[in-house]
Structure 1
Amino acid sequence: MLKNTITLLSKVPASLTPQPHTLCGFLAGLHSHGPDASFKSFDDAYEAVIKVPLDSLNEFEEEIWKAQSRRFIYGNRNLSVVDTVEDATDPQSLAIRQLIINERPNLVQTAINVASISAPYVATSPNPSPLTQGHFGGLAIALPMFEASSPPSSSPPRVHIIGAGGCSLPTTLSFFTSHVTAVEPDQSIVEVAKKYFGADSELFSLVNMDGSSYLSSLKEDDIDVLIIDADDGSAPPLSMRDHSFYTALLPSLSPSAVIAINAIDSPASVASLSATISSSLPSHTVTIVPPPPAADTDDRHVLLFACPYDFHPSLPSFLSYFAQHEGLVDSPSAWLKSLEASFSS
């Protein structure tokens, strides 16, 4: 019904457009995404959705709540923050909060647990996103990989995350090292991360800056762990897939540095990226790790870990060390199985 309403109202003069509803951006994404989309572009869909009467949008919002126990607690043209509970009749029911980029409504950028609908998030312990929400909590594994392959040091590992999003990953890592910097180029995402996802400046540094520009500003040997969790419609971004990007990183990498990358692409493209990194970083080897089956992702979603060559002999000690890091990732035993299978193949 709403789909038909949107289509009919797509020709309403712009002068009659009301103030956008919280749902408008998300609905525009739904109606412009995928092969059967009602509109050819997100922009066209958004222009149509904002002309739908507010009463209709309010009714649809209540339908979503009744049918799916999902409440949109924030929404603008580009972003939506959605709280979902298991039992809408229980006011004490825990909620899963999701950050969604509206142009890609099928992907969850960040997911965290909160006490109830609209409750603030306060990080009091490691709290990785639920594995079944598709979050790549496995990126945090790069930290114990570095610690297993590097000599003992009194200095905390220096972790740099490109693509902060809702900041669940830097928040989790901040409980294991005091030197975490998360970089996010989108100011609106930074603001949402602070307001709804507990991005706390006392736990880690949050920098509003382009990722490539940030990396080029780093000093020699300044990176112990680099996590690339960014995308430009492609993950990683096209600018972070070529030889020159990784050779430019070399001066900033410490001798035992570990790089972790969230990749969403065809197996052939992922293999090409792996080869590019290996040729660019001669002291490192790249391992492709698929998420555990419980993550419910397809074959396009994998993690790449670039580790020093001498990491492989220390793999048994890493597996033992990782098992002791309670809270580093969701379902650690599932991740261990994926790691063991990938590194032994």
Structure 2
Amino acid sequence: MSLNPSTFETIVPSRYLTFSFPDPHRRRRRHLRVAVLDSPSAVISADVAAVWVPPGRETDWIFSTFSGHLQLLLSSTTTNQPLSRLILVGKTPSQPHPSSYNSDLHHPSSSAPPQQNLAPLLLALSPKSAFLDNGEIPEIPFLIYEDDVVKSSVLEICVGPCVGEMLVENVELEIDGVKEFRRRLRFKRMPNFVQSQIRIVPESKSRFKNLPNFEDLYFELDNGVLVQSYLSPMVGGISVISQFLEGQMKNIGFRPKALCLGVGGGALVGFLNAQLDFEVFGVDNDEVVIEIGKKYFGLESNEFIHLFTDDAIKYVETLAENTIEGDKFHAVMVDLDSSDPTVSVCAPPMGFVRKSVLEAIRDVMHDEGVLVINTIPSSKLDYERLICEFHGVFEELYEIDTGNGDNFVLIATKSKIENALEANDGPFLSKLKSVVSRSYIDSIRKISKKNTIAL
């Protein structure tokens, strides 16, 4: 089927078109895959950009699906303006699913067509609004996609009844010149976002040196450290009630209880139990995700780790109606994100931020308990609204800026905590500071109600 060039003259929100195009860089017959996506929302700018898909990663969901393309568009800007159209150009994928990747086998400089060879194609795919009134021909910039992935090995692709297709992979990263290995879980509906990850280490240095192929390496799990950027700040948020926990731990047999809404691979669940001696109740809405956590991420169910398959909101609302004082939680940890790719990555989902849901959470919390929630606000105004909603239900509110530009950890208490940020280092706080960065604990700041917007 041929395409009419006039098709691309206007921006049509969320329009997604893919087609093959002869590679102008190769004499032998080879075709490129071209994908064109328009912004889902009306944008003032007429900015258009292109991305050359990194060689060897053409089958990755990031570059081969609508959801991956959309996340790239939403996270990309030119001249600080949102894009109206993003064009992906790369080799035609050999299969529909992500495959293993080794950067040593690919040389971007020799694999990518010269940008000037693609200029006529990019201009033909640009809307009329991109052309200046003076008749000057626009220059369509090529954006460079960069991450820390050096190698990847696909372990399993499976389907969950709630989250859809998901991918488990081992990756070799190079971060500031330092090599590190991780196991990651990604969902096809939002492939650019790593749902869960843990550190892994080769079983032996000799085995690592002797095996040339990354896929042949054997790894051991290292659950003693949290590598997801926002999980350490979340655990650090428990320090707000450390004085209360210190007092309770003088009682023989006392073990604090945590409720984790959102399990994923189970890194947070396992860490709270193994490092801080919590009895943990984990809730996830997809049974296959929990099974993947058990199979690949060291998640387990035992005397002090209880796992449930349920919708997090329904679970809390039901629990609030039946919980007695002795069963209430000292910490409620929330790591839930939106399943809608059109809002980029937004956490928590809008359905969670309702007064009735927040009140149900408050009801399952111990009087001296704490709610810790990972947030990825889509805008500053949305974040201020979220804070206002929390202030309407909880007594005190604190914040940790994770420093990654996306995540903020909110900490809410059911009752007023005297000198919450001035606690002396007792056994619990000392332990906490030994397993998460002290900088996160020291950076906790209180958010007063007078600093929030009135809605």
For the superposition of Structure 1 and Structure 2, which TM-score range results when normalised by the shorter chain? 0.7 to 0.9
Q: Larger Rg: 1 or 2?
A: 2
Q: How does 1:130-209 map to 2 (within 5 A)?
A: 134-150=229-245, 151-152=247-248, 153=251, 154-175=253-274, 176-202=276-302, 204-209=305-310
Residue equivalent to 1:311? 417
CA contact (8 A) 1:99 1:108 kept: yes
Q: Determine the C-alpha separation between the residues in 2 that align with 1:309 and 1:251.
A: 12
Deviation at 1:186, TM superposition (A): 1.6
Superposed CA offset, 1:167-217 (max 9, x none)? 101110002124101111022211221111111113622211110122123
CA contact (8 A) 2:237 2:372 kept: yes
Question: For the structure 1 residues 149 and 63, does the alpha-carbon distance in structure 2 shift closer, same or farther, using more than 3 Å as the test?
Answer: same
Deviation at 1:308, TM superposition (A): 4.6
The TM-score normalised by the length of structure 2 is 0.58
CA contact (8 A) 2:260 2:269 kept: yes
Deviation at 1:241, TM superposition (A): 0.6
The TM-score normalised by the length of structure 1 is 0.74
1:82 aligned onto 2:169: yes
Residue equivalent to 2:187? 101
Runs of 5+ unmatched residues, structure 1: 9-21, 40-48, 88-92
Structure with the largest fraction of strand: 2
Q: Determine the C-alpha separation between the residues in 1 that align with 2:324 and 2:31.
A: 54
* Range moving further from structure 2, 157-166 or 214-223: 214-223
Q: SS state of the match for residue 78, structure 1? A: strand
Q: Determine the C-alpha separation between the residues in 2 that align with 1:205 and 1:337.
A: 31
1:268 aligned onto 2:268: no
Aligned pairs, number: 301
Q: Determine the C-alpha separation between the residues in 2 that align with 1:257 and 1:3.
A: 60
Residue equivalent to 1:14? none
Write the letter of the residue equivalent to 1:334: S
Write the letter of the residue equivalent to 1:324: K
CA contact (8 A) 2:102 2:152 kept: no
Kindly report the root-mean-square deviation, in angstroms, between the aligned alpha carbons of the 2 structures: 3.5
Residue equivalent to 1:248? 360
1:214 aligned onto 2:301: no
Q: SS state of the match for residue 292, structure 2? A: helix
Write the letter of the residue equivalent to 2:199: N
Q: Determine the C-alpha separation between the residues in 2 that align with 1:199 and 1:275.
A: 35
CA contact (8 A) 1:30 1:37 kept: no
Q: Determine the C-alpha separation between the residues in 1 that align with 2:264 and 2:182.
A: 16
1:333 aligned onto 2:445: no
Q: Determine the C-alpha separation between the residues in 2 that align with 1:3 and 1:336.
A: 53
CA contact (8 A) 1:97 1:111 kept: yes
Following TM superposition, the consecutive aligned residue runs of length 4 or more in structure 1 with deviations greater than 6 angstroms are none
Write the letter of the residue equivalent to 1:156: R
Deviation at 1:155, TM superposition (A): 2.5
Deviation at 1:272, TM superposition (A): 1.5
CA contact (8 A) 1:258 1:306 kept: yes
Q: Determine the C-alpha separation between the residues in 1 that align with 2:351 and 2:31.
A: 37
Question: For the structure 1 residues 334 and 178, does the alpha-carbon distance in structure 2 shift closer, same or farther, using more than 3 Å as the test?
Answer: closer
Q: Determine the C-alpha separation between the residues in 1 that align with 2:68 and 2:355.
A: 36
Structure with the largest fraction of helix: 1
Runs of 5+ unmatched residues, structure 2: 1-22, 24-29, 37-57, 74-84, 107-149, 159-163, 203-213, 340-345, 449-455
Which residue, 426, 429, 439 being the options, matches 1:322?
Answer: 429
